[in-house]
Chain A
């Protein structure tokens, strides 16, 4: 419970990020807000790029603008079992090397088009080795949490698909659908 409280306070104080001061400057800082994951800043940046690849800015706001990368890490940190976390981290830590091996370029160095192609290829592929399994799992869960964080963001739930906290007493069990009407999954 203390850990979780600390996480929340840190997140509030530093906009989602807090760094543990490190004495050895050759080592990368560990992001304290995600203490279970023990991930570094550059890993966090990779994840941010990935989230941006999954839901980029279009004429709508993108996932990163809504802070969804932080949500992905909060969920991975707090809501995954040890085994799932291990897979996720193996996938995250090895991702740049993996993409370098499979396509010649590190993911973090790719432009948007290439990044998206690479991610789709991995998601559609059938993993065989342990490496591939971890990568696949990492991508799948990141995509899952990215979608969840985005679709349940204030932006989407107020501006795009309005959610009503107080819908009111009218309930129509047999409403006729108006053809062409926009479907609101929060409606």
Chain B
């Protein structure tokens, strides 16, 4: 018996364990494998292999029974995930359904999840703007949260490193608070966006309109061929999985790369229950895993553990990792784990029309849109709210179809569309302020099907968010008006927190173990062989889409782990 155990322990021992195979876990795994570390990736969801498991990727619009729309009964059974714009007939199979993995909304919160190889990296909208010191210095300057223990200079080389691998299309725009990166050829703005850019940049010094930097391969084909990826073909149905590997996902890029090193073991249907802490050795020694199908428990061991289960699931796993030394969750000496959760605020929108540029339209599709980097409170506090917002900007030439009447007239009309005005739209991407009262915690009674406590979510907007929404509406409407746009409409869709799918925090970084959970290398202060490099580690949220930064964290932290523990 004793021998058997030793043998199984040996068989289940790796150089590193990564929990989660999504955007951040996939990158951590790639880095570890590249450095020669035998790496076990544990993924709770099913296997999704690039180009084998994209069932809808080559379907034509008419091949979808409901032309993309989700049937009423599915929407009724899944109110949360149904609110996500991308939960449609072509990609619904990559989303977690509400009933499958319940959580407790003490306050309304739309938790949008993808449990499979690749996580949400299959579904994302691929916007990858860098952070700057305006973001990392925000808390110190404005007095919210705690000071980030890192600055832009710590990340800049890692941004470059990750961008090169991922493939990022963009232009060098020279904006101090949205640093340029390693860009492949950018994708141009539309005529209406170009026009809006010229108005804004002339009349509002310090405000910019650029092409959103996106994780698509637009050049350097030979380099990406080595990853097995090809040039982006602008299908703009990326959420189905891309047969060309034209956009970045764990499935098409980081995991196959890791696989080719021979150092990767990927286990699917492996629900990580908790991290094992050894009181005698005073470190984490492995993880406890429940087989999603058989419910059998297995333990795996490694000297280094990366937790990348996506922000709230990382909180859940760490809070559930209790031991004599850590009765309230691994590394949670100060009781702050799960607190200071924040998110992005995408509630505001603006639309309008432009009568000019009648001689032009667009040709082809593009996988990105225009982007206005944050322009409020950038260099100094100038409004009644803290921080600011970025804005998506999209302008396209509308096509008018006359659908009136019936019969032969209708057919003739439908077959002879004309160009309408340019339509201009914007959506807000606001920063929210992490607060102690925005937290997640474990329910003491309710468990999921795998014996994990259910997560209770207590996250809400505050007055700062409402003021920011109002300011966004006012400012964008004013700029639209200034550009001569007509029929300007602004709104607040009052969506529930979480629907922006950028939840962050709970295991924040900081200098001081009394007020933070992780040090500047993403190690738990109190258990340094455990690293957290997904959204859980975020001290504040900035306005930029976060996933690029998670991958940068993963690459940088692996480098640290190798230099210091390897």
Contact = CB atoms under 8 A, between A and B. Distances in A.
Interface string B168-193: 00000000000000000001111101
B204 interface: no
Interface in A134-187: 143, 147-154, 157, 160-161, 163, 165-177, 182-183, 185, 187
Contacts of A160: 415
B66 A168 contact: no
Nearest to B365: A167
B408 A165 contact: no
Interface string B391-405: 000000001010101
Contact of B231 (A116, A120, A169, A175): A169
Given A80-B72, A152-B67, A177-B361, A163 B61 contact: yes
A114 B61 CA distance: 34
Interface stretch (B22-30, B125-133, B232-240): B232-240
A116 B70 CA distance: 32
B232 A169 contact: yes
A147 B414 contact: yes
B411 A58 contact: yes
A79 B188 contact: no
Interface string B47-72: 00000000000101110011101111
A174 B410 contact: no
Given A78-B71, A169-B232, A54 B359 contact: no
Contacts of A151: 414
Nearest to B190: A173
A187 B361 CA distance: 11
B74 to A, nearest CB: 8
A119 interface: yes
Interface in B394-435: 399, 401, 403, 405-408, 410-412, 414-419
Nearest to A84: B72
A173 B361 CA distance: 7
B58 A171 contact: no
Contacts of B65: 8, 74, 78
A66 to B, nearest CB: 9
A4 interface: yes
A147 B403 contact: yes
B364 A174 contact: no
A79 B72 contact: yes
Contacts of A169: 218, 231-234, 364
Nearest to B76: A81
Contacts of A154: 60, 62
Which of A79, A80, A123 has the most B CB atoms < 10 Å from its CB? Answer: A79
B299 interface: no
Contacts of A133: none
A79 B364 CA distance: 31
B487 to A, nearest CB: 21
Contacts of A120: 405-406
B233 A166 contact: yes
Contacts of A148: 67
A172 B364 contact: yes
A54 B410 contact: yes
A60 B365 CA distance: 28
Contact of A58 (B364, B399, B408): B408
A102 to B, nearest CB: 17
A99 to B, nearest CB: 14
A185 B70 CA distance: 23
Given A78-B71, A78-B72, A173-B362, A183 B191 contact: no
A177 B71 contact: no
A170 B406 contact: no
A147 B406 CA distance: 10
30 contacts: A4-B73, A53-B406, A54-B410, A55-B406, A55-B411, A56-B411, A58-B412, A75-B69, A78-B71, A79-B66, A79-B72, A116-B407, A120-B405, A147-B403, A152-B61, A161-B415, A163-B60, A166-B235, A167-B364, A169-B218, A171-B365, A172-B363, A172-B364, A173-B189, A173-B190, A173-B191, A173-B193, A174-B191, A177-B359, A177-B360
Closest 4 CB pairs of A and B: A171-B364, A174-B191, A173-B190, A78-B71
